[in-house]
Amino acid sequence: GAGVSQSPSNKVTEKGKDVELRCDPISGHTALYWYRQSLGQGLEFLIYFQGNSAPDKSGLPSDRFSAERTGGSVSTLTIQRTQQEDSAVYLCASSLVGGLNEKLFFGSGTQLSVL
Amino acid sequence: TQLLEQSPQFLSIQEGENLTVYCNSSSVFSSLQWYRQEPGEGPVLLVTVVTGGEVKKLKRLTFQFGDARKDSSLHITAAQPGDTGLYLCAGAWGQNFVFGPGTRLSVLP
């Protein structure tokens, strides 16, 4: 596609339920990042995928959070047993090869609200 | 503790004024990026600076990377309402990027 696509754009769920957030990166981009942005805050790194390498999961806040990337393309971020503090905008970004001077292309995010 | 600090946190100015926002750290970064984010959208890259002391200009925006590569500034000349948004700096860290908390700029017509 022309840009990074995230779905759903909005998700309202009840505390304790599981949610899945999807990211479709730009075609051909090998690096994919997930970030979380709480209201009025900057971006908090969650996880990074680069090609076939083991993902960098160092930013995941708890074992309730997991992510996978199938076939080097689409990624799914799963939050189990959601808590109210999980409410935030979840942003996905991709870049061509993942180098540190690379340009990150962001999706519009998924606004998650946990009631 | 934030690796990157940004100041001011909020800034509201009139159209036509000049402004500078800052990004500071106690750590050295191999590169710094500046992004602008509008409501309901993801951040969009404005510039990447990689060399200490580097100055880059993008129309009315001037970006500077500190000599020690620990800080950066963004100067906007003759601000316009279209400049309104959240300005984020991001530093290359390990294999990914760490972001500052941002400066929220509002330019009033």
Which tens digits make up the pLDDT trace of A39-86?
A: 867 899 999 999 888 899 999 999 999 999 988 799 999 999 999 999
Q: What is the mean pLDDT of residues A23-41?
A: 91
Tell me what pLDDT residue A97 has.
Answer: 79
- Nearest C-alpha in A relative to B104: A40
Measured CA distances, A78 to A86, A100, B38, B40, B91 (Å): 12, 26, 26, 22, 27
Tell which of B5, B9, B36, B97 to mutate to test the A interface (max A CBs under 10 Å). Answer: B97
User: Could you tell me how far CA A30 lies from the centroid of its own chain?
Assistant: 15
Residue B49 has a pLDDT of: 92
Q: In whole angstroms, what is the distance from residue B99 CA to residue B4 CA? A: 7
**A34: closest chain B residue by CA:** B96
Chain A residues touching chain B at CB-CB below 8 Å: 4, 33, 35, 40-45, 48, 50, 56, 58-59, 91, 93, 98, 100-101, 103-109
**R_g over Cα of chain B:** 13
The encoded tokens of residue B44 equal: 């969009």
Q: What is the pLDDT along chain B (109 residues), one digit of tens a residue?
A: 678 999 999 999 999 999 999 999 999 998 999 999 998 899 999 999 999 999 999 999 999 999 999 999 999 999 999 999 999 999 988 778 899 999 999 999 9
Confidence category of residue A90, pLDDT binned at 50, 70, 90? very high
Which DSSP letter does residue A39 get?
T
Contacts A105 to B, Cβ<8 Å: 45
| A1: pLDDT strictly greater than 60 | no
User: To the nearest whole angstrom, how far is the Cα of A10 from the nearest Cα of chain B?
Assistant: 11
Cβ–Cβ gap B95/A48 under 8 Å: yes
Pairing mode, strands A88-95 and A31-37: antiparallel
Q: How far is B106 from chain A (nearest CA, A)?
A: 14
Pick from B4, B44, B50: CB nearest A101: B50
Question: According to the model, what pLDDT value does residue B3 have?
Answer: 86
- What does the pLDDT read at residue B93? 81
**CA–CA separation, B85 and B4 (whole Å):** 19
What is A92-112 written as a DSSP string?
EEEESS--TTPPPEE---EEE
Question: Which token pair is B109?
Answer: 């017509």
